[in-house]
A and B are shown apart, each in its own frame.
Chain A
Amino acid sequence: QVQLVQSGAEMMKPGASMKVSCTASGYTFTNHYIHWVRQAPGQGLEWMGMIDPGGDDTSYAQKFQGRVTMTRDTSTNTVYMAMSSLTSDDTAVFYCAKDQAVRAARGIIDLGYDSWGQGTLVTVSS
């Protein structure tokens, strides 16, 4: 079955950088975009950006441009999301999510995100 497994919780200092991993299994990794979604404590869902594991194309929300980098390793079916210059406002659960549409159809049809990682809690505190 499709599974996305994320790396464990992290405690970070303000100003530090962090990197969260998301390892996929149960489907063809290069066929589906992966999105990253942030959720601050008690708050709603915020889209951060997406990566095409089949072509390494990325798109980031303007809010995160220059501070977030998404990469992929096709040898391990893993996507990474790195964020720099952390502040306490970045304390949140970070989710990776698989786009249900195959990459060739993305933007033409909308099938939502059909599988999510378990979430990674990142706490930024001095």
Chain B
Amino acid sequence: DVQMTQSPSSLSASIGDRVTITCRASQSISTYVNWYQQKPGKAPNLLIYAASPLQSGVPSRFSGNGSGTDFTLTISSLQPEDFATYYCQQSYSTPITFGQGTRLEIK
């Protein structure tokens, strides 16, 4: 199974900050990585697919990068609605696996 190690597990930041979340795969997975945002009590929401393209309707302050084993999700300027939990996901091979999640909190 491909393990996805996500860091940090939690992060405190302020409105306007630039934040980066990292995901490392246990083997090379090309660009088969997606990023989701989840708010309490809600289903996840797709932000980035195939490592870097922005899903339709997602604000441009979100961006994704990486290939092979190392991937990043960056929020360029945090807004109040961005405080949530973020997950990376690999779909290179089954079983499809998610990172442990990063909880982004207001400082």
Are the C-beta atoms of B50 and A111 separated by less than 8 Å? yes
Q: Does B14 contact A (CB under 8 A)?
A: no
* B contact residues, total (Cβ < 8 Å): 26
Question: Interface-forming stretch among A11-19, A83-91, A113-121?
Answer: A113-121
B100 CB–A CB distance under 8 Å: yes
Number of residue pairs spanning A and B whose beta carbons lie under 8 angstroms apart: 64
In the complex, the answer to whether A114 meets B98 with C-beta atoms within 8 Å is no
A29 in the interface, Cβ–Cβ < 8 Å?
no
Alpha-carbon separation in the docked complex, A46 to B49 (Å): 18
Closest-CB distance, B65 to chain A (whole angstroms):
15
Interface presence of A104 (CB below 8 A): no
Contacts of A45 in B (CB 8 A): 36, 38, 44, 87, 89, 98, 101
Instruction: Assess whether B80 is interfacial by the CB under 8 Å rule.
Output: no
Q: Knowing A45-B44, A45-B87, A95-B43 touch, does A110 contact B34 (C-beta < 8 A)?
A: yes
Q: Say yes or no: B43 contacts A118, CB within 8 Å.
A: yes
Contacts of A63 in B (CB 8 A): 95
- Choose one: B33, B45, B95, B101; the contact of A47 (CB below 8 Å): B95
Please tell me the number of chain A residues within 8 Å of chain B, measured between CB atoms. Answer: 24
Chain B residues with CB under 8 A of A61: 94-95
Interface pairs (18), CB distance under 8 Å: A44-B101, A45-B38, A45-B44, A45-B89, A45-B98, A45-B101, A47-B97, A50-B96, A61-B95, A63-B95, A100-B46, A110-B50, A111-B50, A112-B34, A112-B46, A113-B44, A118-B43, A119-B43
Shortest 5 CB-CB contacts between residues of A and residues of B = A116-B43, A112-B49, A112-B34, A61-B95, A47-B96
